[in-house]
Amino acid sequence: MRFQNPVFIPGPTNIPEAVRKACDMPTIDHRSSLFADMLFPALDGVRRVLKSTQAEVFVFPSTGTGGWETAISNTLSPGDTVLAARNGMFSHRWIDMCQRHGLNVEIIEVAWGEGLPADRCEEALRADGGHRIKAVLATHNETATGVRSDIAALRAAMDAAGHPALLFVDGVSSIGSMDFRFDEWGVDVAVTGSQKGFMLPAGLGIVGFSPKAAAMTETAGLHRTFFDIRDMRRGYAAGAYPYTPAVGLLNGLKLSCDLLLEEGLDNVFARHTRIAQGVRAAVDAWGLRLCAADPSVWSDTVSAICTPEGFNATDIVTRAAQSYDVAFGVGLGEVAGKVFRIGHLGSLTDVMALSGIATAEMVMVDLGLDITLGSGVAAAQSVYRHGPAELKAAAE
């Protein structure tokens, strides 16, 4: 596969050239002041992207999965109960991790394509008069189905139930690309990774802890060593790590946060919304539909597109890679072979998105689907182009 073409998988995402160069640096002494000069701005940048003044940020040489393990192992004990809705592959994997750690998971089953049901979570919490449930796990953006859930509504439901459980949020494919409000939504642990909205290679697990969650570390009984935030905190106090850090990635994280904040978070989110709207317009023009059940849960970072019954959607991904050197995402779990995914997050522009839409269109025609060449591209262009009104406003 040629490296010149952008990728359209929901992560890892395209890397801005400046960020790639920031990661490509000479070896330094990671216990010197040079390391501290990149570490602390990176941690502060993440905190600002989370829209928080209180989150304690920890960055591990890991991925989002390591972030999940950091969240549970620093706050919970064997036998504790957590509440989680399963509405896709990544919520399923977090549930599986909890079970492997000896936690009791109360599962709310949700149809793939739907968002997290705040009302059913509230019912479960109200029924828990003894407060057995110690944490609620929520996947903000379910990457397998292209579904965004309402975290603010979930927090409101928890508050309405008067329940003291912690709120853990998987923001791996949302943070840095879609609006995320750590403080306002009352999030206790937010989890993300370097390879999505932060536009870096995979290799960093990024977590933010509220003061309430951080205090649980002293009583949590799950085993942890590598992911112990107490060790990381002590390392930070000395401007270092408790072990060898991923220095180049941290330097890249510092720059990627600068780029996001310089663009302006509201502008970043608006860009992702606009690009997603163009993709959705193309899907509609093709006569196809999204896996996401309705517009209220449409994701702005990935679209899972259903293909006609009896057609293997994975063939689209295979053909795109083999014939056009373009990467799309396959369907996962319950929707494997039923959807293909267009990732539209991170370092992406309208013009780049058009190339992905055009490629998907060519592939589907190649494979005999009843798609008119140019239909999806034209629909997306109608979203992306700058008509007279926009040009006039820009001039003013």
201-245: pLDDT as tens digits: 999 999 999 999 999 999 999 999 999 999 999 999 999 999 999
pLDDT of residue 394: 55
Each residue of 160-173: pLDDT tens digit?
A: 999 999 999 999 99
Say whether pLDDT at 300 is over 60: yes
What pLDDT sits at residue 89? 94
Q: What is the pLDDT of residue 388?
A: 63
Domain locations along the chain: 17-262, 264-395
pLDDT band at 3 (very low <50, low <70, confident <90, very high): confident
Check for a shared fold between 17-262 and 264-395. no
Average pLDDT value over all residues in the chain: 96
As a CATH number, domain 264-395 is: 3.90.1150.10
Tokens of 18: 């400046």
* pLDDT given for residue 386 in this prediction: 87
CATH (residue range 17-262): 3.40.640.10
Write out pLDDT tens, residues 28-37. Answer: 999 999 999 9
Query: Distance between CA 146 and CA 265 in Å, rounded?
Result: 21
Q: What pLDDT, on a 0 to 100 scale, did the predictor assign at position 119?
A: 97
**Separation between Cα atoms, residue 298 and residue 104, nearest integer Å:** 31
Cis peptide before 201 (omega within 30 of 0): no
Confidence at residue 387, expressed as pLDDT on a 0 to 100 scale = 73
Other residues' Cβ atoms within 10 Å of the Cβ of residue 69: 24
What is the structure's pLDDT at 393?
56
Which position has the token pair 């070896």?
A: 27
Residue 356 phi/psi, 5° resolution?
Answer: -70, -40
